[in-house]
Every structure is written in C-alpha cells, then in structure tokens.
Amino acid sequence: MSEQSGVTPVARRSQPRPSKLYPVLWRFAVERQRIYLRRLAGESAPWTDDPVLSAYRFTNAFRAADRVSQYLIRLVYADPLASDQTLLLRTLLFKIFNRIDTWEHIVRNLGSPVAFHFDYAACDELLGERLRAGAPIYSAAYIMPSGGRRGVSKHSMHLRLLRDMITYGLAPRLMETKSLEDAYTLLVGWRTLGPFLAFQYAIDLNYTPLLTGCTSDLLESLRLAWRLFVPGSLEAAAELPAVQRDGGVGLCDGPARAGPNNADVHPC
C-alpha cells in the first residue's frame, strides 16, 4: 500500500555486518598514520614496507594534518589579537580559494585582511588580473559553484558573499553555537553553500576560537556527515554508539595543531 492510503510501508532492515574488507580499511588508516608520524619525526625513507602505500600517494588519516589545513591553522593563530569578524574573514577567504599561493598573493598586495577595512573591490581586481595572466586562483580539490549569475565572475561572487557575511555579523552568531551542527546550519543557508561546502567550512571554523562553545566530538561529527552525505542514512546514524564525553573518543584525539608561539592547540 502507498502512504496516500494512510498506511506507512514497512521494510525489514537487517543489521549491517562488516565485510571482509572492513578490517583492511582500519589497517590501512593505521599504517597511513604511522607513515605521517615517522615523517614528522624526521625518519628517513622508507617509512613503510607496504608496497601500495610506498608506491602511491594517499590523503592523511586526519584532515587537520594535510598541508593546506596546517597552513590555515597556523594562519588562524598567527594573530591572537585579531577580532572575531577578522578571524572569520581570513578563514573563509583562505578556504574558499583553498590555495596557499592565492592567499599569499592577496596578502602581498593588499596586506592581511581586516574586517570592515578589507578592500573587496581591490581584491576582486587583483584576482581578475591573476586569472587573466593565466594563473589559477582556486584549488582543484573540489568544484566551486559559480552562483549562476551572468556577467559576474565566480571570484567576484565569492567576495560579495564574504562581504555580506561580515556585514550580517556571522562571527558572533557562530560563537553562540553549541555544536558543529549548529554552525553548519548557520552556514548552509548562504547562497552557493550547499551541504558539502557548509560542512567543510564548519570543520575549518572548528579549528578556530570562533567555535569554542562547540561541544561536538568525533562521533557527533560523524553522525552529521553521515546524515548529510549517505543517502537513506538518518536511521543508520542513530545506530552509532552514544557520544562519550568523559574519556571517550573525540576530535581532541586527533593531531595537535600549532597555536601561538608554536604551542599545541587541540582541534576542538
């Protein structure tokens, strides 16, 4: 029967069972992290005897450990006196383009961005010149939406988006959030920020003091990601283990990040 008849169809759901490849995934993740730690410690190659991991490049086990994220984390903590709005502007300006050379080109020509003093028009022209010179300004890590407005370049649209976020006062609203999902909800409503980008930027902002009130741990982040990106997973997400606060697994178990004066700052 259909739902129109007043009867909700019921389908039997079997409990998920790990496949034979499930333990392989975890062995891979552990060995990939060992490679990262051996390289970080300054050990000489080879860092593993795994032939696949030796021959091919793979992402780090922790997102915060990748080269661009580490650059962002150091950027965030380089100026501990930056205002909340400036911190938001710098974080999203960096991550929207997601290229270190684009950020350094902006800073070299316009100085470090400061909220309410940043010259969006000058930045628009600067990036337009760079594009006309044949230099890329966006990372190829993922496709950024253009906004669909004819006659408006993609980078112009993104700079207007940032200006509107600062004018709206998004930073203090983010500071009032109590969970990663709250931050995601604030971001996803902005034009061109669909679920994927809003989730990515929420994670990036979780590296900053803007989300110090956020109590999300690793399992809550996984639940949010699962609900957003795995079709039909609302019920499955509820089956994840309960969040453990005291001595449980959390984002703080990830790699430490560099704070002011190279101090270790935990990721949550």
- The interaxial angle of helices 218-229 and 180-188, nearest 10 deg, is 40
pLDDT for res 229? 61
Closest CA to 83 of 109, 112, 119: 112
Using CA atoms, how far apart are residues 66 and 68, in angstroms rounded to an integer?
6
Q: Along the chain (268 residues), what's the average pLDDT of each consecutive run of 10 residues?
A: 56 74 89 95 95 92 89 89 95 96 97 95 97 95 76 91 96 92 91 89 90 67 64 46 34 35 32
Given a contact cutoff of 8 angstroms between Cβ atoms, the answer to whether 68 and 203 are in contact is: no
Phi-psi region of 214 (alpha: psi -120 to 50; beta: other; left: phi over 0): beta
Enumerate long-range contacts of 102-111, CB under 8 Å, 24 or more apart: 102/127, 102/130, 102/137, 102/138, 103/75, 105/130
pLDDT for res 187? 95
Closest CA to 139 of 228, 224, 204: 204
Burial 202-222 (b: 16+ CB within 10 A, else e): bbbbbbbbbbeebebbbbbbe
CB atoms within 10 A of CB 14: 5
> Which residue in the block uniquely carries the two structure tokens 């650059």?
71
pTM score: 0.74
> Which residue in the block uniquely carries the two structure tokens 């790990």?
18
Tell me which amino acid residue 61 is: A
pLDDT for res 262? 34
pLDDT for res 9? 59
| Helices assigned H by DSSP within the chain | 22-40, 51-55, 67-77, 84-97, 100-110, 120-132, 154-168, 170-175, 180-188, 195-205, 218-229, 234-237
Token pair recorded at residue 216:
């999300």
Q: What are the residues facing 258 on neighbouring strands?
A: 264
- For residue 23, cis peptide bond before it (omega within 30 degrees of 0): no
Q: What SS3 class is residue 49?
A: coil
